[in-house]
Structure 1
Amino acid sequence: MKLVVVGGGGLRAPLFVEAALRRAARTGLTEICLMDVDAAQLELIGALATELARRAGGAVAISTTTDAETAFADASYVVTTVRPGGIDGRIADERIALSHGVLGQETTGAAGFAMALRSIPTILSYAETLARVSPEAWLFNFTNPAGLVTQALRDAGYSRSVGICDSANGAQSAIAKWLRLPERSVRAEVFGLNHLSFTRRAEVAGRDVLPDALADDRFLAGTVQRVFAPHVVRRHGMWLNEYLYYYYYADEAVAAGAAGPTRGEEIRALNQRLLPRLRQAELLADPGQALDVYFAYERERSATYMQHTRDDAAPVAAAAAAQSHDGEGYAGVALDLIEALQGGTPIRTGLNVPNEGAIDGLRDSDVVEVSCMVDHHGIRPQPIGAMPDAQGYLVNSVKHYERLTVQAVAERSRALAVEALVAHPLVLSYSRAEPLVEKFLAAHAAHVGAWL
């Protein structure tokens, strides 16, 4: 079985490779192909992946290529994790958004919209190539904003595509660790959208244990729920996706972004320190040293995850890593899917898929983040029913924005782009939306082309 990582030169790729190698025997994995348009960085990351494969016993081949058709030949599964425009594009999005007093976060609000302008056409192009070269392959999209990109894929007819995100299963992982149980013994009920989802039940042996967990101060303090005040979590009575912080504490999030370096600027600084050290280790022909340098970087990057959310939120990264597929993150979600689709143990997991009647009040074609059953027959969203009013209002508002955004990108329509941003709860103003659209289109003209 051949697994392809598009964006394989990215600095998270070795983590994915390491996780995939651990599961190779269970999945039947024989090759991991890393594909990227950045040949120099691909060579560097490919060397790290090759060393990881050697340490794992060498049963899985590592290949690298800058050509999508070569990568997709004979592929069974493709994971897309790319950043069109690079880290500088992310920083531009953040700074443009903040200059207009709105959130600069790459998956949410105005900056998430700007990321979608670049990500959607890029992933659709890869999907077109994959459908031609290996039409039976599955495409797992992790490229941000994951829900919007997956919506565009489905609207374009790519039915063997699904959006993945490790935060969708945060409650399941956290409660399993809290009760010291295997993760799959917790049956979570997730509903909403990517980075805007809620878990309203978490059953163990038929009993909902979520109320007990949310009543425990230590549980909240030891998980990503610590980004919210305890009374906010308890008022909802649900596990809150940590990205809801940007809605429920919008003013604080904007102020924090404006006051210090943005997340993109933090990551650029980390990368500028890492890459020369990696290249030096590679030149010295010491792959072991290169891996040590890499994993030290990864620990430092993870330690700063959402650190700006609250004054006491420094341990959030450790909590998130600890509760996420034993530290495998999005790789764990993708590999769980592969195992189940390959005929392994069926799983229940949160994914981004067409609604198909699972959540009342949303269209069947709407891509939602929802609990799914997965086995060798495929992926089936589970019935959720009606959303409570408070959560449903926010989900429906943002889904309206997502529909408009996908349509705007498809038609390259400035007018629709403005309407999309006006519809977003974190913008809600023509006086902000109109200049934002113009500045985003100008900043990313090389990637988005001419718009009407």
Structure 2
Amino acid sequence: MRLTMIGGGGFRTPLVYAALLRDRAPGRVTSVALVDTDEARLRTMTRILATQAQGVADAPAVTTHTDLAEGLRGADFVFSAIRVGGIEGRANDETIGLAHGVIGQETVGFGGISYALRTLPTVMHLAEVVKRVAPDAWVINFTNPAGLVTEAMAQVLGSRVIGICDSPIGLARRALSALGLPTGPNVEVDYAGLNHLGWVTSLRVDGVDRLPELLRRPQQIEAFEEGRLFGAEWIQTLGVLPNEYLHYYSYRREVLHSDQLASHTRARYLLEQQAAFWSDAHGAPDPLAVWEAARLDREATYMATSRDSVGMGERNADDLVSGGYENVAISLMRGIAYDEHSRLILNVPNAGTIPWLDDDAVVEVPCIVDASGAHPIPGAQVPDFGRGLVTTVKYVERETIEAGIGGSRAAALRALAHHPLVDSVRVADALLDSARATFPELSYLD
């Protein structure tokens, strides 16, 4: 199989390549095309991947491309992981948000909408080029906001675009670990919602739901990241396990206050950290070691202000393990390419799964994957208290898509003004004006 990675010079590429190296089953990926606009990063990334491949027989061949169409030709699968505006764009989102008294996090609220508005024209162009150059390819979307971007690209690619996020599987893995249980084929996780806005509603191991057992044990709840983030009492009150990004909704005041007190925003920190990484890795004799050190530092500081807002302190070693989106992606590829049925949590069109959302609304739910794609499993249950939030945020996503594709400033304003983390129409209007003044990419909005 041939895999094309859009944004192949990105920091997470070695995670995907490591998973490809571990996959020794027949029919595995044998060719990887890295596509990126930054030639220097592609050269450095090629050195990192070559170091990873040392001693591995028949490692997937790696080619690099700055021409999109060239990199897509012959692709069986396409990974899309791009960041329009780079880390600097994220930093500007955070700064603008805080200047107007709202959280600027990159995928929720103002930050997520601004990020999407910059990204949508680019991913829609990508979808059109895929349809023209590699019409039989399947697109696996990692580009954030993942659910929104997947829903927009589906307008061109239909069911051949599927979104992936590692938050749900990471949450399930950590919860099972708190009970002393490993993940495996005997585990079924029920999860429902939107990307970065969902809940684990059951953890079945050999057919027995172990979530009630976990909910009875406050000490075990607070043994893993999300349990400490929300607190055992609140999770017991909810009766389900919330995705970590729901912390921005549940503890909005505390997170905003922590952001305002922080010496620098998360993105400003990443700007410095990533600049040092690329500089150090460029000429390092072992660029993989430089990458691994930067990855661990990045994981250790993940959602730092959210943790600070509830006094969590440093992350535990178990929480630094990647959520595993790269392994989910390979399972998805193999399931489609070789009809290897698997159960995965994915971002796909609703198709009646959540009855009060329309069929085309992209949701994040368990799916069965086979040669014809990903099919949501009927019966996904959003908790009653979450229905209003899911409905509202889906409306915001839809208005953002309308703005991003149609160039409507009015739709962008509706999206911002109706988001639960933006508490005023005047603030929404001011945020939009600040974003348009900051980002040349938003000049299309009128």
Shift of 1:316: 3.7
Instruction: Give, as a single letter, the amino acid of the residue that structure 1 aligns with 2:66.
Output: T
Q: Describe the superposition over 1:234-287 as per-residue Cα deviations: whole angstroms up to 9, x where unpaired.
A: 111111100000000011111122221111011112112222211221xxxx2x
- Structure 2 length normalisation: TM-score? 0.94
Does residue 259 of structure 2 align to residue 264 of structure 1?
no
**How far apart are the structure 1 equivalents of 2:291 and 2:307?**
28
| Contact 1:24–1:60 (Cα < 8 Å) also in 2 | no
Instruction: Give, as a single letter, the amino acid of the residue that structure 1 aligns with 2:366.
Output: S
Shift of 1:345: 4.1
SS in 1 for 2:204: strand
Shift of 1:175: 4.1
- Spell out the pairing of 1:285-364 with structure 2 (5 A cutoff): 286=285, 289-311=286-308, 312-316=311-315, 318-322=317-321, 327=322, 329-343=324-338, 345-364=340-359
Note closer, same or farther for the CA distance 1:138–1:348 as it changes in structure 2 (3 Å cut): same
Q: Which residue is 2:77 aligned to?
A: 77
Instruction: Give, as a single letter, the amino acid of the residue that structure 2 aligns with 1:235.
Output: T
Q: Which residue is 1:97 aligned to?
A: 97
| Contact 2:300–2:320 (Cα < 8 Å) also in 1 | no
**How far apart are the structure 2 equivalents of 1:184 and 1:275?**
38
Shift of 1:410: 1.5
Q: Which residue is 2:205 aligned to?
A: 204
**How far apart are the structure 1 equivalents of 2:323 and 2:391?**
31
| Contact 1:36–1:66 (Cα < 8 Å) also in 2 | yes
**How far apart are the structure 1 equivalents of 2:167 and 2:222?**
17
**How far apart are the structure 2 equivalents of 1:198 and 1:33?**
35
Q: Which residue is 2:215 aligned to?
A: 214
- Spell out the pairing of 1:363-374 with structure 2 (5 A cutoff): 363-374=358-369
SS in 2 for 1:450: coil
Note closer, same or farther for the CA distance 1:153–1:317 as it changes in structure 2 (3 Å cut): farther
Note closer, same or farther for the CA distance 1:363–1:116 as it changes in structure 2 (3 Å cut): same
**How far apart are the structure 2 equivalents of 1:337 and 1:154?**
17
**How far apart are the structure 1 equivalents of 2:419 and 2:391?**
10
Q: Which residue is 1:409 aligned to?
A: 404
Does residue 363 of structure 2 align to residue 393 of structure 1?
no
Note closer, same or farther for the CA distance 1:59–1:386 as it changes in structure 2 (3 Å cut): closer
| Contact 1:16–1:328 (Cα < 8 Å) also in 2 | no
| Contact 2:258–2:305 (Cα < 8 Å) also in 1 | yes
Shift of 1:388: 3.2
Note closer, same or farther for the CA distance 1:45–1:59 as it changes in structure 2 (3 Å cut): closer
List structure 1 segments (4+ residues) > 4 angstroms apart after TM superposition. none
Aligned length: 441
**How far apart are the structure 1 equivalents of 2:396 and 2:58?**
47
Q: Describe the superposition over 1:205-231 as per-residue Cα deviations: whole angstroms up to 9, x where unpaired.
A: 222111112322343223222211211
Q: Describe the superposition over 1:26-72 as per-residue Cα deviations: whole angstroms up to 9, x where unpaired.
A: 55211111110011111111111122223322432011111111111
Instruction: Give, as a single letter, the amino acid of the residue that structure 1 aligns with 2:358.
Output: R
**How far apart are the structure 2 equivalents of 1:429 and 1:275?**
40
SS in 2 for 1:17: helix
SS in 1 for 2:338: coil
SS in 2 for 1:405: helix
| Contact 2:173–2:182 (Cα < 8 Å) also in 1 | no
Greater Cα offset, 24-33 or 422-431: 24-33
Q: Describe the superposition over 1:150-190 as per-residue Cα deviations: whole angstroms up to 9, x where unpaired.
A: 11112344320011000122343234433433433211111
Q: Which residue is 1:227 aligned to?
A: 229
Match of 1:255 among 231, 254, 257: 257
Q: CA RMSD for the aligned pairs? A: 1.8
- Spell out the pairing of 1:10-89 with structure 2 (5 A cutoff): 10-89=10-89
**How far apart are the structure 2 equivalents of 1:173 and 1:338?**
21
Shift of 1:73: 0.8
Note closer, same or farther for the CA distance 1:204–1:429 as it changes in structure 2 (3 Å cut): same
SS in 2 for 1:349: strand
Instruction: Give, as a single letter, the amino acid of the residue that structure 2 aligns with 1:89.
Output: G
**How far apart are the structure 2 equivalents of 1:27 and 1:193?**
32
| Contact 1:304–1:317 (Cα < 8 Å) also in 2 | no
**How far apart are the structure 1 equivalents of 2:90 and 2:324?**
21
SS in 1 for 2:343: strand
| Contact 1:360–1:386 (Cα < 8 Å) also in 2 | no
**How far apart are the structure 1 equivalents of 2:67 and 2:43?**
14
